[in-house]
Amino acid sequence: MLTKIGSFMAIIGAMAMVLSFLDRVPRVLFWIYLWGDTVAWIIMIAITVIGAVLWLLGKKGATAE
């Protein structure tokens, strides 16, 4: 379960970073731009990192079983 949530978060965060260079914003993350570009980048990076960590933890938990 953690792998699915983590991969979703990591993909959404990475996609948001790439799309921000193209001046496109995913509707899911439109609210983060209400606080400005710097905070939006911090949130996008945090979503990507947290997603990657959850994915790795889920993968380790699945191999331990």
Residue that has been written with the tokens 């699945």 in this structure: 62
Asked if 65 and 1 count as a contact pair (C-beta separation under 8 A), the reply is no
Residue that has been written with the tokens 């959850």 in this structure: 54
Sign of CA dihedral 11, 12, 17, 23: positive
pLDDT, tens digit, 9 for 90 and up, residues 19-44: 988 988 877 778 888 999 999 999 99
Asked if 58 and 1 count as a contact pair (C-beta separation under 8 A), the reply is yes
Query: What are the backbone angles phi and psi of residue 23, rounded to the nearest 5°?
Result: 60, 35
In this prediction the pTM is: 0.82
Q: Looking at residue 11, what is its pLDDT?
A: 93
Candidates 23, 29, 62; CA nearest to 47 is: 29
